[in-house]
């Protein structure tokens, strides 16, 4: 069965902006932590966080963590997202869980080719499913057969994961993966993750998105040349989040 990405922010540090502000203020203050906490909880930390970001004092943002569930994505996405080493992952196992009826992602470019192309692709997935079942029964049912039968599976095969990143790593992740140069699937997941965290910590993630939003595009000759369109997309997304919150 065809699936598409489902991204949810399922847990996060309580009061992430206050936590970051407290950690940063501690660095510059001779006051007790309890005094600082009272002061931070009663005030608006937006301007202070903005100043921190401008100063490049990013380490306090490591104290706020965000945990996402990500489903309906391909093993091709898994190979990319797990390159981010300052993140924690738990991924559905292809040893413990049989893939004899695996779901799969259909690339939009294949869908755009029309119904015949999609039917061809679905037929190929069905064939691979048959091959997988063949190997499962040849190897004997159970965990040890899954372990080797999975070698026949495609990158399109669905996976599910829980991912935790701190705010600093998320900012870096957004720079790389919200960029038009990133592959379409991880890009769509990254934008969804950004949308989710902006709802919770708008000051912290205010300037986040691909690198071109905060300076020159680092892609050089490979730049998409669409920085102003990207900025408009980001601004529209943030405005929608703000208006949803105001309702
Ligand atoms: C458009 C695009 C195309 C890509 N194409 C390829 C490709 O063709 N082949 C390929 O192999 N990969 C490719 N990648 C993956 C890329 O090379 C990185 O592995 C991935 O983006 C993770 O980035 P990172 O290492 O900065 O992030 P993280 O692992 O999240 O690390 C965050 C930061 O921590 C620091 N850090 C982490 N670990 C170390 C360490 N061991 N030593 C020193 N500093 C560290 C670095 O400053 C790093 O930027 C591509 C990525 C993108 C976005």
| pLDDT interval class at 114 (50, 70, 90) | very high
Is residue 4 predicted with pLDDT exceeding 80? yes
- The percent of residues in the chain predicted with pLDDT above 70, rounded, is 99
Q: Which is more confidently placed, 46 or 76?
A: 76
According to the model, what pLDDT value does residue 1 have?
Answer: 95
- Pocket test of ligand 1: the residue of 84, 171, 212 to mutate, having most ligand atoms within 8 Å of its CB, is 84
Cα four-point dihedral sign 39, 41, 46, 52: positive
| CB contact at 8 A, 185 and 192 | no
For 152-171, what is each residue's pLDDT tens digit? Answer: 999 999 999 999 999 999 99
Q: Find the 84 Cα to ligand 1 centroid distance in Å.
A: 6
Averaged pLDDT for residues 76-82:
98
Is residue 16 predicted with pLDDT exceeding 80? yes
Is residue 75 predicted with pLDDT exceeding 90? yes
Residues at CB less than 6 angstroms from ligand 1:
83-86, 169, 172, 176-177, 181-182
According to the model, what pLDDT value does residue 94 have?
Answer: 96
Task: Name the active-site residue from 177, 181, 187, 234.
Answer: 177
According to the model, what pLDDT value does residue 215 have?
Answer: 87
| pLDDT interval class at 214 (50, 70, 90) | confident
Is residue 247 predicted with pLDDT exceeding 80? no
Q: From atom 38 of ligand 1, which residue's Cα is the shortest distance away?
A: 85
> CA 65, CA 169: separation in Å to the nearest integer?
9
DSSP for 105-164, please give it: ---HHHHTT-HHHHHHHHHHHHHHHHHHHHHHHHH-SSHHHHHHHGGG--TTBEEEEEEE
Q: Find the 28 Cα to ligand 1 centroid distance in Å.
A: 32
| Mean pLDDT over the full length of the chain | 94
Q: From atom 5 of ligand 1, which residue's Cα is the shortest distance away?
A: 182
Spatial strand order in the sheet of 6-12: 6-12, 65-74, 158-166, 87-91
Q: Is 75 annotated in the active site?
A: no
Is residue 22 predicted with pLDDT exceeding 90? yes
| pLDDT interval class at 244 (50, 70, 90) | confident
């Amino acid at each position: 069965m065809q699936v598409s990405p489902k991204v949810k922010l399922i847990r996060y540090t309580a009061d992430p902006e206050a936590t970051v502000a407290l950690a940063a203020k501690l660095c510059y203050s001779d006051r007790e932590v309890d005094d600082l906490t009272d002061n931070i909880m009663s005030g608006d930390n937006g301007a202070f966080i903005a100043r921190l970001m401008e100063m490049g004092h990013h380490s306090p943002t490591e104290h706020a963590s965000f945990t996402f569930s990500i489903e309906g994505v391909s093993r091709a996405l898994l190979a990319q997202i797990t390159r981010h080493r300052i993140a924690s992952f738990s991924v559905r196992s292809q040893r413990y869980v049989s893939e004899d009826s695996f779901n799969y992602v259909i690339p939009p470019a294949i869908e755009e080719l029309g119904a015949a192309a999609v039917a061809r692709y679905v037929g190929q997935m069905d064939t691979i499913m048959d091959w997988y079942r063949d190997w499962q029964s040849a190897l004997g049912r159970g965990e040890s057969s899954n372990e080797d039968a999975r070698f026949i599976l495609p990158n399109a095969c669905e996976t599910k994961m829980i991912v935790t990143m701190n705010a600093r790593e998320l900012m870096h992740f957004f720079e790389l993966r919200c960029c038009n140069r990133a592959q379409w699937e991880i890009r769509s997941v990254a934008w969804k993750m950004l949308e989710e965290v902006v709802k919770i910590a708008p000051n912290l993630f205010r300037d986040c998105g691909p690198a071109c939003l905060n300076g020159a595009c680092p892609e050089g000759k490979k730049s998409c040349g669409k920085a102003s369109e990207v900025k408009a997309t980001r601004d529209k997304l943030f405005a929608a989040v703000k208006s949803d919150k105001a309702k």
